[in-house]
Amino acid sequence: MMKNVLAIAGSDSSGGAGIQADLKTFSAHGVFGMTVITAVTAQNTSRVIDVQDISPDMIGKQIDAIFEDINVDAVKIGMVSKIESIKVIAERLREYKPKIIVLDPVMISKSGYALLKPDAIKTLISELLPLSTVVTPNAPEAEKISGIKIKTMPDMKRAAKIIHDMGAENVLVKGGHIEGSHSTDFLFDGKSFNVYESEYIKTKNTHGTGCTLSSAIASNLALGMDIVSAVDNAKKYITSAIMHSLAIGKGNGPTHHFYELYKKAGILC
């Protein structure tokens, strides 16, 4: 039976990140994607021009529309910029109690635009972290959440423990921002660490990598994988997508969400 995964996130008009990346990732994993739009962004590969937030009331009604009609096997949360939006999402998730919630704490775009208002970070921590099956911050995001500086891999592990103590069931701290020949991520379940290491791929085309990875994890969990396998398979997926990323636009191009499927179909690009 088809699994259904809901993305609660912002729309990226350039198609490389946000809701658009979520839906592409869901499709690539063979799950049915649904959406709740939290904001509409005017952005491209080079910059975010502007953001228009959807009203909290409308966000709540979108969530109601999904859950009253369709079984939701997993939820992925991406860009949620305002305190009021975060609160209504948390309220609805506590009401509907989905079994799997993947939280990608999107804070800053690749071009440096603040997508999460500074005064909303505490609300995200208090309202959404305790509901999450896994939270997937990169190093700068983990710094903001944990309150410590992250320069080394031991710092990443320390931050993961701090964030876990804030209520997340599992914490995946991503090391793509830490300099080195390899990218190392740490998954902490409250007891032990799993380490995921991949070769650092030299490319500027990494728009939407965080959205894509978290959506892949949500898809894999919905398909019945345990958290360790879900992250492992998601890492392999995003590594391939980055390796075969697309040089679209003048800035940071998107990853190739369908490379493996296109390869099997004999369509190469």
Active-site residue set: 174, 206, 208-211
Q: What is the CA radius of gyration of the chain?
A: 17
Pick from 189, 18, 4, 8: which is nearest to 91 by CA? 8
- 220 HSE (CA, 13 A, CB side): 22
Strands of 134-135's sheet, edge to edge? 48-53, 32-43, 4-12, 74-77, 101-103, 134-135, 171-173, 182-188, 193-199
Cβ atoms of residues 32 and 26 within 8 Å:
yes
d(CA 147, CA 141): 10
Q: What is the DSSP string of 156-217?
A: HHHHHHHHHHTT-S-EEEB-TTS-SSEEEEEEE-SS-EEEEEEEPP--S--BTHHHHHHHHH
Distance CA 212, CA 88 (A): 24
Q: Find the distance separating the first CA and the last CA of the chain, reported in whole Å.
A: 31
The CA-CA-CA angle for residues 255, 258, 260, to 5°, reads 110
